[in-house]
Amino acid sequence: MSDLNAQFEAAVANSKKLSEKPDNATLLKIYSLYKQGSIGDNAEKKPGFADMVGRAKWDAWAKLKGTSSDDAKQQYIDLIESLS
C-alpha cells in the first residue's frame, strides 16, 4: 500500500473521531472527496427532487469530476487534518 493510501485510510479513521461535528458544507466536502478518492468520477444516477440530502451529496461529488484519485485523497487528508 502506498504512503498516500495509508495516510488516506488514517484520515478516514480520524474523520470519525473529530472533536466536533463539522457544518453541512464541510461534511459535503468530506463526503465528496472521500467518494472521488476511493471510487473516482460519479457515475451514479442522480437522485430525485424528493431526496434533498442524496441530491446534495450527488452534486458535491459530481463537481469533482476529472479530479484524480490521488488529488482527492490528498485534499481529503488535508481537510481532515485541518479539522482535527
Place of cell 473516482: 40
How many CA atoms are closer than 13 Å to the CA of 9, on its beta-carbon side?
Answer: 6
Using one digit for the tens of pLDDT, what is the confidence trace for 45-67? 999 999 999 999 999 999 999 99
| Domain 3-83 top-level CATH class | mainly alpha
pLDDT of residue 24: 95
Whole-structure pTM value: 0.92
Q: Domain spans of the chain?
A: 3-83
